[in-house]
Amino acid sequence: MPSDWAVELHGVTRRYGRGGSAVHALRGIDLTLPPGTFTAVMGPSGSGKSTFLQCAAGLDRPTAGRIVLGGTDITGLSENKLTALRRTRLGFVFQAFNLLPSLTVEQNVVLPMRLAGHRPDRRRAAEVLGQVGLADKGRRRPGQLSGGQQQRVAIARALVTHPDVVFADEPTGALDTTTAAEILALLRGAVDTQHATVVMVTHDPSAAAWADRVLFLADGTIIDHLDRAPADRIAARMRDLTARPTYTQTAA
Ligand SMILES: Nc1ncnc2c1ncn2[C@@H]1O[C@H](COP(=O)(O)OP(=O)(O)O)[C@@H](O)[C@H]1O
Ligand SMILES: [Mg+2]
C-alpha cells in the first residue's frame, strides 16, 4: 500500500561515538510530513538540525530507527540504491548554491537526470527554468548570474525530477533580505502549485515564517512546533529555546 506521507521518521536516533564520550545528536525523532507541505526546522546551534537533514535525506545513516521517503523505506538500502533514490526522487538546495561553474544553467538543471542515467529532458528543463523566472538564462554560466539567480537555478535543478521531497539547508543564508524573500516565495509556490514537499533548515525566523509548520529541535528532540506562525512568534519561541538551560552530558 502506498504511504500517505512524503517523509516518515520512526524513532530515529543518531549517536556519534560510543560510551561516555558519545554525542546523542538525535534522540528518537518521530515525524510524518504530508506531501504538498512546507516544513521549517529550527533550533539552537548543536541541537541536531544538520544531522536531522542529513539522515532524513539519506546522506547519513541513523544509529537506530527507520526513515521512509515517498513510501520507500530507505533504512536498509545499499549505498548504490540510496544514491539512485537521491538523484531521482529527492531534490537538494544548499546555502552555497552548489552549481557546476563549467556547465550552462540548462546543463546544471538537467544534471540530476544525467547522473541517474536518463536522457536530459530539455522541455522539462525549460519548464522549471520558466517557473523560477529564468526562461532566458539557460545558456548562461552560473558565474554570469547574481546569487539570487544562482539559487533559482538550484531550485529548478531540485524540482526538475518532480521529487518526492526537496531538502533545503539554509537556502537563503547567503542572500540579502529581498532576494531571500524571492527564493522563499519560489519554494512556497512549488508547494502550493506543484504539490512539492519542502523540508528546510534555517536559523532565520522570517524564512521559517514561509513554512506551514516550524519544528523546534533542542538536544536532538523535537520539543515543539508552530503552524502558520508569523516571524515574530517564531523568533520569540527561538529566544525561549536559547535561554533554556541545556542538559550537560555526564562523563561515564
Ligand atoms: N561528525 C560528528 N562527529 C561528532 N559529533 C558530531 C558530528 N556532527 C555533529 N556532531 C554533534 O552532534 C550534535 C548536533 O550537531 P548538528 O546536527 O550539526 O547540530 P546543528 O546543525 O543544529 O548545529 C552537536 O553536539 C555536534 O557537536
Ligand atoms: Mg548545522
Question: Which pLDDT value is given to residue 243?
Answer: 80
- The three-state secondary structure class of 232 is helix
How many Å lie between the centroid of ligand 1 and the Cα of residue 48?
Answer: 6
The torsion of the CA quartet 158, 162, 167, 168, rounded to 10 degrees, works out to: 40
Report the range of poorest mean pLDDT among 4-18, 168-182, 231-245.
Answer: 231-245
Strand stretches in the chain, DSSP E: 7-16, 23-33, 38-42, 64-69, 72-73, 90-94, 165-169, 198-201, 213-218, 221-227
pLDDT digits (tens, 9 = 90+) for 167-216: 999 999 999 999 999 999 999 999 999 999 999 999 999 999 999 999 99
Ligand 1 pocket (Cβ < 6 Å) reads 16, 23, 25, 43, 45-51
How many Å lie between the centroid of ligand 2 and the Cα of residue 46?
Answer: 7
Report the range of poorest mean pLDDT among 6-10, 16-20, 214-218.
Answer: 16-20
Q: Which of 14, 18, 50 to mutate to test the pocket of ligand 1 (most atoms within 8 A of CB)?
A: 50
Residue 248 pLDDT > 60, yes or no?
A: no
- For the CA of 43, the closest atom of ligand 1 is 22
Residue with cell 529532458: 121
Predicted confidence band at 2 (pLDDT cuts at 50, 70, 90)? Answer: low
Question: Which pLDDT value is given to residue 245?
Answer: 61
What is the set of domains in the chain, with CATH numbers?
Answer: 38-47+79-243 (3.40.50.300)
Residue 246 pLDDT > 70, yes or no?
A: no
Closest to 82 in 3D by CA, of 70, 90, 71, 74: 74
Protein residues within 5 Å, CB atom, of ion ligand 2? 49-50
Question: Which pLDDT value is given to residue 209?
Answer: 98
Which amino acid makes up residue 156?
A
pLDDT digits (tens, 9 = 90+) for 100-122: 999 999 999 999 999 989 999 99
How many Å lie between the centroid of ligand 2 and the Cα of residue 121?
Answer: 34
Q: Which of 16, 26, 219 to mutate to test the pocket of ligand 1 (most atoms within 8 A of CB)?
A: 16
Measured from the alpha carbon of residue 54, the closest ligand is: 1
Measured from the alpha carbon of residue 43, the closest ligand is: 1
2: left (phi over 0), alpha (psi -120 to 50) or beta: beta
16-27 per-residue burial string, b: 16 or more CB within 10 A, e: under 16:
eeeeeeeebbbe
How many Å lie between the centroid of ligand 1 and the Cα of residue 207?
Answer: 22
Question: Which pLDDT value is given to residue 252?
Answer: 45
How many Å lie between the centroid of ligand 1 and the Cα of residue 25?
Answer: 6
Question: Which pLDDT value is given to residue 247?
Answer: 56
pTM: 0.93
Contact between 154 and 166 under an 8 Å Cβ cutoff? The reply is no
Question: Which pLDDT value is given to residue 241?
Answer: 87
pLDDT digits (tens, 9 = 90+) for 79-94: 999 999 999 999 999 9
**Neighbouring residues of 45: CB distance < 8 A, sequence distance ≥ 6:** none
Measured from the alpha carbon of residue 26, the closest ligand is: 1
Q: Whole-number mean pLDDT of the chain? A: 94
Predicted confidence band at 13 (pLDDT cuts at 50, 70, 90)? Answer: very high
Closest to 188 in 3D by CA, of 163, 174, 204, 209: 209
